[in-house]
Structure 1
Amino acid sequence: MKQLKIMLFAIFLFLAMGGCAPTNPDKMNTVVLTVSAASSLQNVLEELAVEFQKKHSYIDIQYNFGASGALVKQIEQGAPADVIISASTEQFNKLNMAGLIQEGTTLISNELVLITGNNGSVSLQKIEDLKSNRVEKISIGAPSIVPAGSYAKQALEHLDLWTELESKFVYAKDVRQVLTYVESGNVQAGFVYHTDAIGSDKVKIISTINEEILDSISYPIGIVNHAGSPTEAKKFYEFLQSEEIKDIWVKYGFTY
């Protein structure tokens, strides 16, 4: 009987100590991390999520891709988001000024390019060729919400082409839609990011917009103040800035 009591006590002690053991994060319940990101980041971020989850398998990355202006409005209205990556410093600063970002920094940069379809019926050599009567439709993102569209407008105004070309514009909800319009032949040309253009085998780059006539295209990243999972948001925020994944950013055409 005495031996039985000792054995039961030992088992109880073992179980009690096991309950105090450190928790293995990989065995925790899944944490869903909501990341709102510019549409132009879709391909690279999907690959980066796979890399991140190799080390943090309990964190499930859920992306919300869209135009930066639309994403900002969603967060302003209280939509769930842990991290935001914008293609516009101006849009990102709206959240900063409203006190909705607890930590932020510049992550990467990009370039704006003019593209046309590989099988297009119109031959374009430079931006000025858009004035040709043969060019009937040019797609750009809606400047009020799509940073790529805002950058395109800035460049065309600098070149005194905006007013002359305005009747030809087909506005898109985001830069990915611009790319789709050009790929499908629905428009003869469009303004997208360099990273979008090199990711498609259906378009070719006509011209890269000179930085001298365009604001620097930077992508700020921030942790949202009302983040539901701030600890995990911090892990992902730091991961995207780490040297270990620099080559992935570069592979997709971003400057890191």
Structure 2
Amino acid sequence: MQQYFKPLFALLFLIMFTAACSNETNTDQSAAQHKNISLTISAAASLKDALTDIQKQYEKKHPNIDLKFNFGASGSLQQQITNGAPVDLFFSAAEDKFDALVKAGAISKENGTDLVGNDLVLIVPKNNTSAITNFEDLSKPTVQKIALGIPESVPAGQYAKETFEHMNLWKNIEPKTVYAKDVRQVLSYVETGNVEAGVVYKTDALISKKVKIVATADNSTHKPIVYPVGVIKDSKHPQEAKAFYQFLQSKTALDTLKKYGFTAH
């Protein structure tokens, strides 16, 4: 009798062991399928607050996606991508920076679009007592320091320079200019009172309780302020990058951008 059961027990053990191994393999495969995917988005500094909100919305609906943002001046971000930085999407504050990557073949035209717009404004510290009420006041001898983004790399600085040139003010304003690495640094300089005034996007001014808008540049004085976004061709996760790109064009995302002051394009 014992001789009969020994082979039977051995067979049962083999079946159970095989099943356990199979379950472990399936579990490993399932875990691999649900492994988090990280997407890197290089975006203009002026988009930080809006995209942080959008990040929460998207990651809640897609728990396997981690959105990582690299915020900075659009020109600097463009240069990083040109030099091979591992990026999945580029969200620029200027068409020329974006178009340079399209021309270089880093972004396909069919995977890029102009998403939103913005306004250029003159700001001063909220408790400011000076008589700065418009762009022309900046040329007065009493105004000593004005913050602008570096025109070559910061689109807001480029637009500001165009506005001053159009108004024949640049010659008087340039010697007073304190340059900043991006638009958020301009905002910081004004908030802390290190400068008497600065030029930023309306969206940047709206998030601060320490500054006030005293003038808005006429759209005819500078190139159109357009924010294009697109998928980088060399993205390691093109399918997921395109999915987020499509989400940015959804009503949910656009409503969030409008909430922060961006305009529909």
TM-score of the alignment, normalized to the shorter chain, above 0.5: yes
How much does 1:245 deviate? 2.6
Whole-angstrom distance in 1 between the partners of 2:147 and 2:222: 18
| Counterpart position of 1:34 | 40
Alignment of 1:11-90 (within 5 A): 28-90=34-96
How much does 1:125 deviate? 1.4
| Counterpart position of 1:127 | 135
How much does 1:176 deviate? 0.2
* Superposition TM-score, scaled by structure 2 size: 0.88
How much does 1:244 deviate? 2.3
Whole-angstrom distance in 2 between the partners of 1:131 and 1:24: 66
Deviations 1:140-179 (A, max 9, x none): 0000000000000111100000111110100100000000
Quick one: which of 215, 225, 234 aligns to 2:233? 225
Match of 2:132, as an amino acid? L
Match of 2:93, as an amino acid? A
Alignment of 1:190 with 2:198, yes or no, is yes
| C-alpha contact 1:25 1:58 (8 A) present in aligned 2 | no
| C-alpha contact 1:40 1:196 (8 A) present in aligned 2 | yes
Whole-angstrom distance in 1 between the partners of 2:229 and 2:25: 38
* Superposition TM-score, scaled by structure 1 size: 0.91
| Counterpart position of 1:98 | 104
How much does 1:28 deviate? 1.2
Q: Which has the larger radius of gyration?
A: 2
Whole-angstrom distance in 1 between the partners of 2:18 and 2:252: 45
How much does 1:17 deviate? 9.8
How much does 1:123 deviate? 2.1
* SS at structure 1 position matched to 2:257: helix
Two-structure CA RMSD over aligned residues (Å) = 2.4
Deviations 1:186-243 (A, max 9, x none): 0000000000001101001011111122221010001111112111111111111111
Cα distance change of structure 1 residues 27 and 56 upon mapping to structure 2, 3 Å threshold:
farther
* SS at structure 2 position matched to 1:155: helix
Match of 1:221, as an amino acid? V
Whole-angstrom distance in 2 between the partners of 1:24 and 1:217: 46
| Counterpart position of 1:238 | 246
Whole-angstrom distance in 2 between the partners of 1:210 and 1:8: 80
Aligned length: 255
Alignment of 1:158 with 2:166, yes or no, is yes
Percentage identity across paired residues of the two chains = 44
Whole-angstrom distance in 1 between the partners of 2:98 and 2:42: 12
Match of 1:36, as an amino acid? S
Structure 2 spans left out of the alignment, 5+ residues:
1-6
| C-alpha contact 1:26 1:58 (8 A) present in aligned 2 | no
How much does 1:124 deviate? 1.4
| Counterpart position of 2:258 | 250
| C-alpha contact 1:26 1:57 (8 A) present in aligned 2 | no
